[in-house]
C-alpha cells in the first residue's frame, strides 16, 4: 500500500514535468462546464478575449492550441468561482492589453472612450446648426 502511495505521489509530482514535455493538459478546451450558469459566464468572457496567436479571433472562435489553453484556464477559474473581470485582469497582466477586446480605460485609450461623446456633440452641433432656429423648440428626436 505504502509503495502504491509513494508511486502515486511521485506521479503527481512528476506530472508537471511530463506536461511540459507533452501538450499541456487543457481539460476544458473543448468541454463545457456542467453548471450552465457558470458556462454562460465563461462564454461571455471568452468572446471578449483575443486569441493572441490568431488574426482577429476571440478565444471562443479559434482552433489554435493557445486558444484552447486559454478557454480551459477561463473555465477552470470560473468554475472555482472567480469573478470574470478578475480573470480578465489576470490575463491582461500576463499577455498585455492586447488580449482583451474590451479596451481598458487607461491614459492611452481615453480618446477611444471620448470618441462617442465627441461624435454625439458634433452631431448635436450639426443638427442644431440645421434646425436650431429660435421659433422651433421641439427636439429633433421627435422628427
Partner 1 sequence: MIAEVGLALLWLAAALAALQLVVGALALRPEGRALAGLVRPVAVMQGLLVMGAFAALVMLFVTTDLSVKLVVDNSHSAKPLIFKIAGTWGNHEGSMLLWVTIMAVAGAFVALIERRLDEATLTATLAGQAFISLGFYVFLLIASNPFARLAQPADEGQGLNPLLQDIGLAFHPPTLYVGYVGLSIAFSFAIGALVTRNVGPAFARAMRPWVLGAWIFLTLGITAGSYWAYYTLGWGGWWFWDPVENASLMPWLAATALLHSVSVLQSRDALRAWTVMLGVVAFSMSMVGTFLVRSGILTSVHAFAVDPQRGAFILALLAIDIGGALALFTLRAGTVTEGKRFGLVSREAALVFNNVMLSGILGIVLIGTLYPLLTEAYGVKVSVGAPYFNPAAGMFAFPMFVVMAVGPLLRWRQDRLSGARSGRRLWPLAVCLALVLAVLVGVELTAHGIALLPALGLSVAPGLLLASLLPLRGRNLRRTPLPVWGMVVAHAGIAVALFGMASESAFSVERLAALSIGEAREVGPWRVSLDGMMPVAGPNWTALEANVTTRYAGGTPVQLHPRAETFTNPPGTRNESALETRWNGQLYVVLGEQAEDGRWQMRFWWKPFVPLIWLGGALVGLGGALALLGRVMSDIRRLVAKDKIAWRRMRQGR
Q: Which residues bind partner 1 (CB under 8 A)?
A: 30-32, 40, 43, 47-48, 50, 55-58, 60-63, 96-104, 108-109, 111-112, 115-116, 119-120, 123, 126-127, 130-131, 136, 138, 140-143
Taken as a whole, the chain contains a residue count of 143
Helix (H), strand (E) counts: the chain: 5, 0
Q: Which residue lies nearer to partner 1 by CB, 1 or 34?
A: 34
Q: What's the min distance (Å) between Cβ of 87 and partner 1?
A: 15
Question: Toward partner 1, which CB reaches closer, 82 or 84?
Answer: 84
- Whichever of 50 and 77 has its CB closer to partner 1, that residue is 50
Query: Between residues 6 and 106, which has the closer beta carbon with respect to partner 1?
Result: 106
Q: Which residue has the cell 508511486?
A: 7
Residue 96 grid cell? 498585455
CB 17, min distance to partner 1, A: 19
**Rounded Cα gap, residues 130 and 143, in angstroms:** 13
Q: How far is the CB of 32 from partner 1 (least distance, A)?
A: 5
Angle between helices 84-95 and 36-46 (to 10 degrees): 40
- Give how far Cα 94 sits from Cα of 30, 42, 83, 87, Å: 23, 19, 17, 11
Amino acid at each position: 500500500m505504502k509503495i502504491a502511495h509513494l508511486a502515486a505521489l511521485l506521479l503527481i509530482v512528476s506530472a508537471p514535468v511530463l506536461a511540459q514535455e507533452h501538450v499541456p493538459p487543457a481539460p476544458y478546451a473543448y468541454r463545457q462546464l456542467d453548471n450552465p450558469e457558470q458556462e454562460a459566464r465563461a462564454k461571455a468572457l471568452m468572446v471578449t478575449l483575443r486569441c493572441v496567436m490568431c488574426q482577429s479571433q476571440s478565444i471562443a472562435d479559434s482552433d489554435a492550441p493557445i486558444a484552447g489553453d486559454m478557454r480551459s484556464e477561463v473555465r477552470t477559474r470560473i468554475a472555482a468561482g472567480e469573478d470574470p473581470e478578475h480573470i480578465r485582469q489576470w490575463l491582461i497582466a500576463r499577455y498585455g492589453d492586447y488580449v482583451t477586446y474590451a479596451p481598458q480605460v487607461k491614459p492611452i485609450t481615453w480618446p477611444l472612450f471620448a470618441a462617442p461623446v465627441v461624435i454625439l456633440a458634433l452631431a448635436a452641433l450639426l443638427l442644431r446648426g440645421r434646425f436650431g432656429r429660435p421659433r422651433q423648440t421641439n427636439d429633433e428626436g421627435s422628427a
